[in-house]
Amino acid sequence: MRHRSSSRYGRYDGGPDPLAPPLDLSEALDSVADDVMAGYSPEQALREFLRRGGRTMTGLDDLAGRVQARRRDLLGRHRLDGTLHEVRRLLDEAVLEERKQLARDIRMDDTDRSFREMQLQGLPDSTAAAVTELAGYDWQSDTARRAYEQIKDLLGREMLDQRFAGLKNALANATDEDREAIAAMLRDLNDLLDRHARGEDTPADFEEFMARHGDQFPENPQDIDELIDILARRSAAAQRMLRSMTPEQREELLALSAQAFGSPALMEQLNRLDANLQGLRPGEDWTGSEQFDGEQGLGLGDGTGVLQDLADLDQLADQLSQSSPGSTLSDVDVDRLARHLGDEAAVEARTLDRLEKALRDSGLLRRGADGDLTLSPRAMRRLGTSLLQDAAGRLSGRQGQRDTRHAGAAGELKGSSRPWQFGDVESWDVTRTLTNAIGRTTAAGRDPAAGLRIEVADVEVQETEARTQAAVALLVDTSFSMAAEGRWVPMKRTALALHHLVSTRFRGDRLQLVNFGRYAGRLDIGELTALAPMREQGTNLHHGLMLATRFFRQHPTLQPVLLIVTDGEPTAHLMPQGESGPVALFSYPPEPATLRATIAELDRVGRLGAETTFFRLGTDPGLQGFLAAMARRVGGRVVAPDPEDLGAAVVGEFLRARSTFSPSSPWGADPDWPV
């Protein structure tokens, strides 16, 4: 016989969504990297992305805003005098029914009737005082008596519902046996808490208590501490509700509480319970208050529940703020979030948690020796690829001519070919390129004879052994004006794109990154990427050129290429070394000595045969004239890109400069940048 297998399907009830698409880390990494380059630490940058969210991802700020909106809704919709209003309504009903009965009871003695009417007429305005005064009244109307008894029953159930959620409904139409069971539970509970406070309780005591009264605790606590936590949160919320009332409301309620179930002993047990819980959990908020200004009256139990909801929302807001040291999104109580904001909010929080863990576990971020997060080499490569692709896109969008006089091999042909990649300077393998295009066209069901279109994926280039490498010095201005004018991040993106191009495509080249502010210094790409905006005055191009000259001399067999990014004239130069080391002399406007020192060092670079390009950021006429004169002096160029186009400009100029000493480059002509 063939057995039939059956499957049962049910609602998905927790954990990561097995059908959720994989997380795309690209946007997060780009955002983190941009913030790092703007001066944030990687840890701060990650927090900022999680706070803002992405194009298709809700951030923590949005979730926190919805938490606050929910909080405002609760406060703006409710008021806390629901129980007092209900007691007043029942009292008025009882008095009215009693007066009706007195009026129609013809058998009653007139003196007795008049006395009773005077009692009812002379009731105090205070609801609590009137209820207390009628405690010994002999009701003639059964309807009035039932309404008055409902007051005591309502107060008892509300008082219990304040401490034990759900008991108000459970005790509707309660019998004397039900009330005695509650009284016994309170006595046993207080005795258990007393023993726990003295350290005399045992697990068996808790088990015995739950065996007798467990049906009163739908939360099903597993031990004494969990039971105390549940009760203390509720009791503290009840205290906050009391403090949130007006003094008049609070006074009325306290006076009415003695009438609960007509048993002062009940209030004694509840007061004892509150004292026990406050002693066991002093860390709960027992003294806070809220300002309610809505129209919907709440009873004591419901009001306490709202105060608990407000406390939950406050805890969620704190968790979503991630302000505590070492906090992570795993700290967010997603079940509580779903309860207050819906399942969608919980899914959004889980997605952010998955993203944070994926970024930390993907190898894109790693812990340094000091425990701080850093961008890993893998992240730097991935970011460099993205920035280089962006630069290539911007570069290809520019119109310009190509000088094909030098088309040919970049060195000795190896006899093989490979797919074209951005930055390739080798000549095309025409045969392989056409063969690829024909094969692709035929596979698509079209006749190549009807027309052949070559796509980028078809292009193959001849592999060669390069004969010429470059020593590239990229000098970037890190003076205060670069950060103040919004040029800091474009400068870093440019350096990262060029670094990635050289390290992946021109591996025989050498790249040196030099930053110059008041002083100049050599940096690796990781140090430059994480460099915070500097607030020091001074543009010491002289010092930067000295480091570039030293770098070129360290690589005498490589062709020197000098790329300088700046937005200001030189305002500092390096003085001869004194007792405490070299000193930078700063002056604005520039001193003639600063200009002379800078020009002298540029001449040294020029004598080494460096291909020099200045990238001018800004429109200052003084800077424009100075850089033009500097470029003419060494046969260089000045390019004036927009900051967002800086990366494409530097990459394009690097390739152009390389073409002047590489006999095969198809990048021979100048890109169409403003010069």
Question: Residue 410 corresponds to which tokens in the numbers above?
Answer: 């970049």
Amino acid at 339: R
Number of helical (H) and strand (E) elements in the chain, helices listed first:
25, 14
Give me the amino acid identity at 297.
G
Does this model's pTM top 0.85?
A: no
What are the CB-based long-range contacts (under 8 Å, 24+) for 98-101? 98/139, 98/140, 98/141, 98/144, 100/141, 101/140, 101/141, 101/143, 101/144
Between CA 105 and CA 570 the distance in angstroms is 110
Look up residue 288 and give its amino acid.
G
pLDDT value at 402 more than 50 = no
> How far, in Å, CA of 668 to CA of 332, rounded?
58
Pair of tokens at residue 641: 């890109």
| Residue 110: pLDDT band with limits 50, 70, 90 | confident
Question: For residues 7-41, b (16+ Cβ closer than 10 Å) or e, as one string?
Answer: eeeeeeeeeeeeeeeebebebbbbbbbbbbbbbbe
Quick one: which H or E segment has residue 303?
helix 300-321
Rounded to a whole number of angstroms, the CA Rg of the chain reads 41
Cβ contact 50:59 at 8 Å: yes
pLDDT value at residue 290: 92
Assess contact for 383 and 29: CB atoms under 8 A. yes
- Cα–Cα separations (whole angstroms), residue 526 to 175, 235, 558, 654: 77, 55, 24, 21
User: Average pLDDT of 115-130?
Assistant: 90
Give the residue from 565, 562, 558 showing the smallest Cα distance to 661: 558
Q: Are 413 and 467 spatial neighbours (Cβ–Cβ below 8 Å)?
A: no
Q: What is the mean pLDDT of residues 91-105?
A: 91
Name the residue among 525, 497, 541 with its Cα closest to residue 655: 497
DSSP run (H or E) holding 476: strand 470-477
Cβ–Cβ < 8 Å for 147, 93: yes
CA 327 to chain centre: 12
| Residue that is written with structure tokens 């670069």 in the block | 482
CB 62 within 8 A of CB 347: no
The helix (run of H) or strand (run of E) holding residue 526 is: helix 525-529
Structure tokens at 219: 């939360």
User: CA–CA separation, 380 vs 33, rounded Å?
Assistant: 9
pLDDT in tens, 605-662: 989 888 888 888 888 888 888 889 999 998 888 888 887 777 777 877 777 777 666 5
Q: How far apart are CA 272 and CA 187, in angstroms?
A: 9
Average pLDDT across the chain, whole number: 81
- Give the pLDDT score at 237: 93
Q: How confident is the model at residue 668 (pLDDT cuts 50, 70, 90)?
A: very low
Nearest to 84 by CA among 274, 241, 285, 231: 241
pLDDT of residue 403: 32
Cβ-in-10-Å burial (0-12, 13-18, 19+) of 362 comes to middle
- Cβ neighbors of 394 (< 8 A, separation 6 or more) are 645, 647, 648
Using CA atoms, how far residue 45 sits from 37, 55, 455, in Å, is 10, 17, 39
Identify whether the C-beta of residue 606 lies closer than 8 Å to the C-beta of residue 633: yes
Greater confidence, 473 or 586?
A: 473
Evaluated on CA atoms 504, 506, 510, 513, the torsion sign reads negative
Instruction: State mean pLDDT over 121-150.
Output: 91
Read off the pLDDT of residues 6-57 as tens digits, 9 standing for 90 and up.
666 666 555 555 656 667 777 777 777 777 766 666 777 778 888 888 877 8
CATH label, 467-661, candidates 3.20.20.70, 3.40.50.410, 3.40.50.1950, 1.10.3720.10: 3.40.50.410
Q: Is the dihedral of CA 106, 108, 113, 119 positive or negative?
A: negative
Lowest mean pLDDT, pick from 18-27, 247-256, 531-540: 18-27
Mapping DSSP to helix (H, G, I), strand (E, B) and coil, where does residue 583 land?
strand
Domain chopping of the chain, boundaries: 37-78+314-375, 81-291, 411-466, 467-661
Whole-angstrom Cα distance, residue 95 to residue 98?
5
CA–CA separation, 572 and 586 (whole Å) = 4
pLDDT tens-place string over residues 263-312: 677 788 888 999 999 999 999 999 999 999 899 998 888 899 999 999 99
Q: By C-alpha distance, which of 170, 172, 202, 173 is closest to 185?
A: 170
**pLDDT given at position 488:** 79
Q: DSSP assignment of 110-123, as one string?
A: HHHHHHHHHHHHT-
With H, G, I as helix, E, B as strand and everything else as coil, classify residue 414.
Answer: strand
* CB proximity list for 476: less than 8 A, separation 6 or greater: 491, 494, 495, 513, 514, 515, 516, 528, 565
Two tokens at 433?
């390129």
Instruction: Give the residue among 548, 539, 541, 567 at the shortest CA–CA distance from 641.
Output: 567
Torsion angle of the four alpha carbons 550, 554, 560, 562, in this order, in degrees rounded to the nearest 10: -30
Looking at residues 461-484, what average pLDDT do you find?
Answer: 78
Report the distance separating Cα 545 and Cα 555, nearest Å.
16
Query: At 48, which amino acid appears?
Result: E
* pLDDT (tens digit per residue) in 329-368: 888 899 999 999 998 898 888 888 888 787 777 666 666 6
Work out whether the CA dihedral 278, 281, 282, 288 comes out positive or negative. Answer: negative
Nearest to 230 by CA among 182, 264, 280: 280
Question: Which helix (H) or strand (E) segment is 312 a member of?
Answer: helix 300-321
**Alpha carbons 442 and 518: distance in angstroms, whole number:** 63
Question: Quick one: what percent of the chain has pLDDT higher than 70?
Answer: 81
In terms of Cα–Cα distance, which of 287, 299, 232 is closest to 85?
Answer: 299
